Amino acid sequence: MTEISETQSRVAARLARRHAGEKRFKLLSLGAVWVGLVFLGVLLFTVIGSGHTAFLQTKILLNVTLEETDLGEAGEGGQAQAIAGANYNGVIKRTLRAVFPEARSRSDKRALYRLVSVGAAYEIREAMMEHENPVGTPVAVWVTASDDVDLIIKGTVPRTAPADQRHLSDQQMNWIESLEKTETVKARFNTTFFTSGDSREPELAGVLGGAMGSLYAILVCLAISFPLGVMSAVYLECFAPKNRLTEFIEVNINNLAAVPSIVFGLLGLAIFLNAFMLPRSAPLVGGMVLSLLTLPTIIIAGRAAIKSVPPSVREAALALGASPVQAVFHHVLPLAMPGILTGTIIGTAGALGETAPLLMIGMVAFIVDVPTSVVDPSTVLPVQIFLWSDIPEKAFVERTSAAILVLLSFVCLLNLFAVYLRKRFETRW
């Protein structure tokens, strides 16, 4: 008995310390979970905080009157061609001088013209061409303001900031304030961001070029990797004999899944661009590289989905007289399809965010035009983000964040769709 009570007293002596250790351990592990959650929160907060202002674009309302003297040559297109070829640079300068006649000296005038974007002239041209009879009548046009004005109006740069951050003189600030008083300068929804390609001017830059490039590349990627992936998965899971070759294929697939993506880019550069002489920077090549990246994912997900279909389904089909191929394609595959699609969508979401391999095949150039086919030179959305992130101009910083928000929404939507698919079609055998 005394042996037991001695043991018990020693046990009791340590208990408090051990329970304290237990509590510490539990808190520490909870802290680890929180590290991840907090980081995610901060990341989203930062991106949304710095990017949401990019969805607004400051515009200035100008009443523009096109004079006969501004028109260009009539030629074959008649009046329309004359309007199209008019001297809009002169028109815009005249209009601005009319609003602020106090700008006399050359430097004052230059400062005045810098309130609007270089694209403003084109915007006026567009408005005039759409108008029925623009010559002589004042037309109201909201033109894009320059990026410096834009940042001030949206409050990204404080009005009291020193000159080197504000890039606007006091005189220019006065002009802006008088425009505000007459409500002719406003921050409105930034449609340009979603309808234009890249530009040197931040106020004219948009993600459409990158988005379309991504779309084409992903379409090419899926067109290649989905059929190949499903067929490989079917073969490996249903028909392949258990020999060294099959094992070798499986080992290869598992290894490819873990190869760094940049290596796939090198492959694309050496073989697709150099050996096959395919056009550089085209979504076609990008898609081909991405398809090699996503192939292992689809194969692995496909095999898991096919494996989860009970063998009784295949056996029943065979018993009814179906050939092995028919049994698989008519019976097993449709049942495995939700799982395969889920894996494909997740793989696509990953491919959408890939940047490094596409840098390798040249999608790193400055391209203004929105691609209209898979062989037009283009960039993809993540590369666009990468290119913009290097530009120190504040206006590009907010656009980079906004582009990130666009990319994240696509990735998030794809993943949510995959989860929805999985839940909806999940059958427990």
Partner 1 sequence: MTFDSVEHMVTEATDLEHSARIGATMAGEPNQTGEIPGGPAKMASRNLQVRYGDKQALYDVSLDIPVNEVTAFIGPSGCGKSTYLRCLNRMNDNIDICHVDGSVTLDGREIYAKDQDVVQLRTRIGMVFQKPNPFPKSIFDNVAYGPRIHGIARDREELNGIVLGSLERAGLLDEVRDRLDAPGIGLSGGQQQRLCIARAIAVRPEVILMDEPCSALDPIATERIEELIMELKAQYTIIMVTHSMQQARRVSDKTAFFHLGHLVEHGATSEVFENPQDDRTKDYVTGRIG
Partner 2 sequence: MAVLIAASSVAILTTVGIVLSLIFESIQFFRQIPFTDFVFGLHWSPQTAIREDQVGASGAFGAIPLLAGTLLISAIALCVSGPVGLMAAIYLGEYASRRFRATVKPILEALAGIPTVVYGFFAAIVVAPLLRNSGEAIGLEVSSESALAAGLVMGIMTIPFVSSISDDAITAVPESLKEAALGLGSTRSEAIRNVILPAALPGIAGGLLLAASRVIGETMIVVMAAGLAAKLTLNPFEAVTTVTVQIVTLLTGDQEFDSPKTLAAFALGLMLFVVTLALNVTALRIVKAYREQYD
Write out the binding residues for partner 2, residues 396-415 only, by CB under 8 A.
397, 400-401, 404, 407-408, 411-412, 415
Please report the DSSP string for 395-410 in residue order: HHHHHHHHHHHHHHHH
Residues 266-305, mask of contacts with partner 2 (x by CB under 8 A): xx-xxx--x-----------------x--xx--x------
Does residue 10 interact with partner 1 by CB under 8 A? yes
Does residue 2 interact with partner 1 by CB under 8 A? no
**Cα→Cα distances 47→55, 400, 403, Å:** 13, 9, 10
Does residue 4 interact with partner 1 by CB under 8 A? yes
Question: Of 108 and 393, which has the nearer Cβ to partner 2?
Answer: 393
- Pick from 299, 310, 268, 297: nearest CA to 285: 268
**Cα→Cα distances 426→196, 249, 306, 323, 335, Å:** 41, 29, 13, 27, 10
CA distance 42 to 258: 29
Does residue 15 interact with partner 1 by CB under 8 A? yes
Question: Of 134 and 209, which has the nearer Cβ to partner 2?
Answer: 209
| DSSP conformation class of 370 | P
Contact 224, 291 (CB under 8 A): yes
Does residue 49 interact with partner 2 by CB under 8 A? no
Terminal alpha carbon distance of the chain: 57
Residues 304-333, mask of contacts with partner 2 (x by CB under 8 A): ---------------------x--------
- Residue from 7, 195, 252, 373 binding partner 1 (CB under 8 A): 7
**Cα→Cα distances 16→12, 22, 156, 342, Å:** 8, 10, 55, 50
37 binds, among partner 2, partner 1, none (CB under 5 to 8 A by kind): partner 2
Residue range at the interface with partner 2 (CB under 8 A); choices 110-118, 200-208, 333-341, 346-354: 346-354
CB of residue 288 to partner 2, shortest distance in Å: 11
Write out the binding residues for partner 2, residues 71-100 only, by CB under 8 A.
none
Does residue 163 interact with partner 1 by CB under 8 A? no
Residue range at the interface with partner 2 (CB under 8 A); choices 38-46, 100-108, 110-118, 144-152: 38-46
72 binds, among partner 1, partner 2, none (CB under 5 to 8 A by kind): none
The set of residues, in sequence order, having a beta carbon less than 8 Å from that of 173 and lying 6+ positions away, is 152, 159, 166
Buried b (16+ CB within 10 A) or exposed e, 236-252: bbbeeeeeeeeeeeeee
Cα-Cα-Cα-Cα dihedral of 189, 195, 197, 198, to 10°? 0
368 binds, among partner 1, partner 2, none (CB under 5 to 8 A by kind): none
| DSSP conformation class of 237 | I
Given strand 185-189, what is the order of strands in its sheet? 138-144, 56-65, 185-189
4 binds, among partner 1, partner 2, none (CB under 5 to 8 A by kind): partner 1
The CA angle 176-182-184, to the nearest 5 degrees, is: 65
Residue range at the interface with partner 1 (CB under 8 A); choices 14-22, 247-255, 288-296, 299-307: 14-22
Question: Of 8 and 323, which has the nearer Cβ to partner 1?
Answer: 8
CA distance 282 to 301: 29
10 binds, among partner 2, partner 1, none (CB under 5 to 8 A by kind): partner 1
Write out the binding residues for partner 2, residues 361-380 only, by CB under 8 A.
364
Question: Of 15 and 275, which has the nearer Cβ to partner 1?
Answer: 15
Q: Which residues are at the interface with partner 1 (CB under 8 A)?
A: 3-4, 7-8, 10-15, 18-19
